Amino acid sequence: MSLATSEFAKRAAILVVFSALAFLAWYLRDFFLIVVGSLLVAALLELISEPLIRWGHLPRGIALLIAGVVVLAAIGGSAYLFGTQMSFELEDVLRRADAATNSIVETLHQSRFGELALSHLGGEIPSLTAVVSDTLKLSVNFIEALIFIIFAGIYFAVQPDLYRKGASYLFPPGSRLMAEGTMDDIGRALRLWLLGQLIAMCVVGLLSTLAAWLIGLPSPLALGAIAGIAEFVPYLGPIVASIPAILVAVTKGLYPVLWTIIAYGLIHQVEGTLIAPVIQRHMVLLPPAILLLSIVAISLVFGSFAIVFAAPMTVIGFVAVKKLYIRDSLGQSTSLPGEDGSEPI
């Protein structure tokens, strides 16, 4: 077999593998989401434990145990310190948002254009409380999936070599080292992306809280928490987070609405032009168009809930394509996250 024929066969095999994985991902889409969630849990534990191992010279098991305690302490501490105040503010946000929605509906009923718009929405605009209630309904399957995600993530973090080598046996003997290297690259990229995303969430949450407080909106802490959590979903998250803030501002008058729109727009611009480039320069750079198209494709294939995992799934696919196809198959030089030694942990 000539070199050209061998290279063509290699590329064709890679294309077949990716096509098969795409079909398998669609057929087992719920399972695939659980795997991605487990990898994120493992990446979070690795992210916290790695400095303890590298700089504190602690055994891996103890470092992971400390990481788990830190995560639980952070969740428990936040619930204890802000639980009562946060729940009160969230209830206030929902109450004011529902009042604003009712006011908007009444205003629309007074005009022909408004009646036409409402007719296309089924005669009414769904309240934020109803949307949140439907979103937070926990089914048995969801609770089971969450348990599987947490425990599988812990197992992945405790024995990464075991599962990496086990997964590599799914490949031919000559490709196992390449498969293990690719899994290492994906794991490193996920940790870097998660670190960058946590930084962005904290910054956006603080800026949103400060903006809501300066404008004089009620419940600024809750509005800031919503903005910070929503930042986990790129592009769509900030838009969704601005809706409760604008609805709350409606109950305060026209000028608070205008200032809220301006403030959230500025925060989004600061995040997109200042915060994100600095984070991506040192961590994971995802081209915006690829990320947007991935969000659309993933939501169509896996359902709307999968948007939460759209970015990490894009990171996994992006690194795999760059490593396996661009570098190993095409032989072109391309950088992977953390390879240049810029990994901050």
Q: What pLDDT, on a 0 to 100 scale, did the predictor assign at position 81?
A: 55
Q: What pLDDT, on a 0 to 100 scale, did the predictor assign at position 206?
A: 92
Does residue 169 sit within a domain? no
| CA nearest neighbour of 192 among 44, 33, 41 | 44
Does residue 192 sit within a domain? yes
Does residue 336 sit within a domain? no
**Angle, helices 160-168/176-215, rounded to nearest 10 degrees:** 130
Does residue 144 sit within a domain? yes
Q: What pLDDT, on a 0 to 100 scale, did the predictor assign at position 342?
A: 43
Q: DSSP letters of 319-333?
A: HHIIIIIIIIIT---
Q: What pLDDT, on a 0 to 100 scale, did the predictor assign at position 115?
A: 59
| CA nearest neighbour of 53 among 39, 194, 45 | 45
Q: What pLDDT, on a 0 to 100 scale, did the predictor assign at position 38?
A: 92
The answer to whether the CB of 49 falls within 8 A of the CB of 60 is yes
The whole model's pTM is what? 0.75
Does residue 288 sit within a domain? yes
Domain of 295, in residue numbers: 25-161+174-329
Q: What's the distance, Cα to Cα, between the start and end of the chain in Å?
A: 46
Does residue 167 sit within a domain? no
Distance CA 314, CA 77 (A): 32
Count of structural domains within the chain: 1
Q: What is the pLDDT along the chain (345 residues), one digit of tens a residue?
A: 455 666 666 667 667 766 766 676 667 778 888 889 999 999 999 989 988 888 888 888 888 889 988 888 877 766 665 555 556 666 666 676 667 776 766 666 666 665 565 565 555 555 555 555 555 555 556 777 888 888 999 999 988 888 888 888 877 887 788 888 888 889 888 998 898 888 889 999 999 999 999 998 887 888 888 888 888 887 788 888 888 888 888 878 888 889 999 999 999 888 877 777 777 766 777 777 888 888 888 888 777 778 888 889 888 888 888 888 788 777 777 777 766 544 433
Does residue 17 sit within a domain? no
CB atoms near residue 209 (< 10 Å): 20
Phi-psi region of 172 (alpha: psi -120 to 50; beta: other; left: phi over 0): beta
Q: What pLDDT, on a 0 to 100 scale, did the predictor assign at position 344?
A: 39
Does residue 57 sit within a domain? yes
Distance CA 108, CA 125 (A): 10
